[in-house]
C-alpha cells in the first residue's frame, strides 16, 4: 500500500487535466459526445481484455505443471482441452474486434451523416492564423473575421475548411474531432455546442515555425445574443470621433498596416492578413497568442518577431508617439 500512495495521489491530479476549455474528455456538443462515448467504450473493453489476459498469464505462470511421462508421449486429453481454450480465445478476440469496428463505424456514420446546417462558415487556414467568413445568401450580410468563431447554442454549424498555403488541421476538442485542411480541396465538418461557453481549438497538423501559436476560440452564445454579435460584425467600423483615435486611423492608413489588413469602412482593404474591422471585440490577438489588451496590441505592433518569430507581420519601426494613437484606434474597433 505504501508503495502505491504516490500513484494514488497523482492519479486524481492527472484527471483534473481532463476538464477545461480544450478537452475531448469534457464534451460540450453532440459530435464531441459521440467521440467521447466511443473513446470510453474502447477504453473499457480494451482494459477488460488487458486485465483478463494478464490474469490468465499470471495464473498459467503460477500453476504447477503436471509430470509428463516423456517428451514424445501424446496426451490427447490435455491437447483437446488446450485446442478448445485457444479456439475460444480466438473466437472471443474476433468478436471483440468486429464489435469495436461496428462501434467505430456507427460513430463515423453519426458524425458525417449530415452536411446540412442553417449556418455555414468558411474557415481558411493561413500560416499562422485562421480566416473565418460567415456565408450568407445575401452578399451584403457576408463578413470576414479572424481567429474567433461565434456560434449559436444548440444549432449545427457547417464549417468548410480551406487552406491558403500548407496543410493545417482544425481541432476544437470540446466540440468535434480533428479535420485536416488540405490545400486545393475543401473538407467539411459539422460542429454544435450544446451549451454556452468559450472553447479553444488549435491547429493539429505541424504547419511551420509558429504552428504552436495558431489557436482559434469558439464562443457559443444563446441564439439572440449571437444574432446581436452577427449584426455588429456585419456593420462597417465606425469612424473615430476623438482626435487621438483619428490620428491613429491616419497612422494606420499611411503606414504598412494598410497593405495587408482590412478595416471595412476605411480605404484599408488588404486581404492577406486578419480583418481588423472589429478587432477590439476579440478575445485574443495574434491567433490566441496574447490576450487582447491595448498593452498587448502595442507589444505586438512594436515587436511582432519577438513575440511570434517568423510570423508574416513585419517590423514597422513606428515612432514612439505613434503607438498610443494607433492602439487606441484599434482597441476602439468594437
Partner 1 sequence: MRRLVAIAAAIAVLSACEREDREFRPPPVGTEAEAPVTLSSIAPGTGPAERPGEMGQAYEENAYHLSEGKRLFTWFNCKGCHANGGGGSGPALMDDSWIYGGALLNVVQTIREGRPNGMPSFRGKIPEEQIMQIAAYVRSMERQVPQDAAPGRNDDLMPRPSEHRLPARPAVPGGTVPPSGQAPQ
Say which residue the cell 500512495 belongs to: 5
Question: CB of residue 63 vs partner 1: minimum separation in angstroms?
Answer: 53
Nearer to partner 1, 238 or 303 (CB): 303
Burial class (CB in 10 A: 0-12, 13-18, 19+), 320: exposed
Nearer to partner 1, 291 or 314 (CB): 314
CB of 311 to partner 1, least distance (A): 8
CB within 8 Å of 41: residues ≥ 6 apart = 100, 103
Smallest distance from partner 1 to CB 306, Å: 8
Strand partners, 221: 152
Instruction: Compute the least distance from the CB of residue 124 to partner 1, in Å.
Output: 15
Q: Which is nearer to partner 1, 79 or 165 (CB)?
A: 165
Between 193 and 273, CB nearer to partner 1: 273
Q: What distance in Å separates the CA atoms of residue 172 and residue 204, rounded to the nearest whole number?
A: 9
Q: Least separation, in Å, of the C-beta of 304 and partner 1? A: 9
Short-list 300, 152, 271, 156, CA closest to 219:
152
Q: Which residue number, 274 or 332, has a Cβ lying nearer to partner 1?
A: 274
**Interface with partner 1 (CB under 8 A):** 165, 254-256, 258-260, 272, 305, 309-310, 312, 314-317
Q: Are strands 187-191 and 157-163 parallel, antiparallel or unpaired?
A: antiparallel
Cβ neighbors of 189 (< 8 A, separation 6 or more) are: 158, 159, 161, 170, 176, 179
Q: How far is CA 247 from the centre of its chain?
A: 38
Other Cβ atoms closer than 10 A to 225: 15
CB of 321 to partner 1, least distance (A): 17
DSSP readout, 9-42?
HHHHHHHHTT-SSS-TTS--SHHHHHHHHHHHHH
**Of residues 246 and 255, the one with the C-beta less far from partner 1:** 255
Pairing of strands 157-163, 119-126: parallel
Q: How far is the CB of 263 from partner 1 (least distance, A)?
A: 16
Residue closer to partner 1 by CB (options 222, 314) is 314
Amino acid at each position: 500500500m505504501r508503495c502505491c500512495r504516490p500513484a494514488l495521489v497523482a492519479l486524481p491530479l492527472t484527471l483534473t487535466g481532463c476538464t477545461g476549455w480544450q478537452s475531448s474528455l469534457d464534451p460540450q456538443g453532440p459530435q464531441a459526445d459521440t467521440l467521447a462515448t466511443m473513446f470510453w467504450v474502447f477504453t473499457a473493453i480494451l482494459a477488460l481484455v488487458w486485465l483478463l489476459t494478464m490474469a490468465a498469464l499470471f495464473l498459467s505462470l503460477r500453476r504447477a505443471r503436471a509430470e509428463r511421462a516423456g517428451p514424445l508421449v501424446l496426451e490427447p486429453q490435455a491437447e483437446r482441452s488446450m485446442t478448445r481454450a485457444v479456439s475460444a480465445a480466438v473466437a472471443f478476440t474476433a468478436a471483440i474486434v468486429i464489435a469495436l469496428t461496428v462501434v467505430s463505424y456507427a460513430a463515423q456514420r453519426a458524425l458525417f451523416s449530415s452536411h446540412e446546417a442553417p449556418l455555414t462558415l468558411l474557415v481558411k487556414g493561413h500560416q499562422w492564423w485562421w480566416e473565418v467568413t460567415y456565408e450568407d445568401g445575401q452578399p451584403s450580410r457576408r463578413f470576414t473575421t479572424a481567429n474567433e468563431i461565434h456560434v449559436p447554442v444548440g444549432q449545427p454549424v457547417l464549417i468548410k475548411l480551406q487552406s491558403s498555403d500548407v496543410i493545417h488541421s482544425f481541432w476544437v476538442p470540446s466540440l468535434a474531432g480533428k479535420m485536416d485542411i488540405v490545400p486545393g480541396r475543401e473538407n467539411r465538418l459539422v460542429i454544435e455546442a450544446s451549451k454556452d461557453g468559450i472553447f479553444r481549438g488549435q491547429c493539429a497538423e505541424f504547419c511551420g515555425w509558429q504552428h504552436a501559436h495558431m489557436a482559434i476560440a469558439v464562443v457559443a452564445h444563446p441564439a439572440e445574443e449571437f444574432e446581436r454579435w452577427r449584426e455588429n460584425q456585419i456593420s462597417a467600423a465606425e469612424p473615430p470621433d476623438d482626435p487621438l483615435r483619428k490620428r491613429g486611423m491616419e497612422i494606420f492608413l499611411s503606414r504598412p498596416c494598410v497593405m495587408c489588413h482590412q478595416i471595412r469602412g476605411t480605404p484599408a482593404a488588404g486581404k492577406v492578413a486578419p480583418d481588423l474591422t472589429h478587432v477590439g471585440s476579440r478575445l485574443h490577438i495574434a491567433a490566441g497568442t496574447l490576450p487582447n489588451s491595448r498593452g498587448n496590441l502595442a507589444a505586438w505592433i512594436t515587436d511582432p518577431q519577438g513575440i511570434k518569430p517568423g510570423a508574416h507581420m513585419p517590423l514597422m519601426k513606428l515612432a514612439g508617439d505613434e503607438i498610443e494613437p494607433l492602439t487606441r484606434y484599434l482597441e476602439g474597433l468594437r
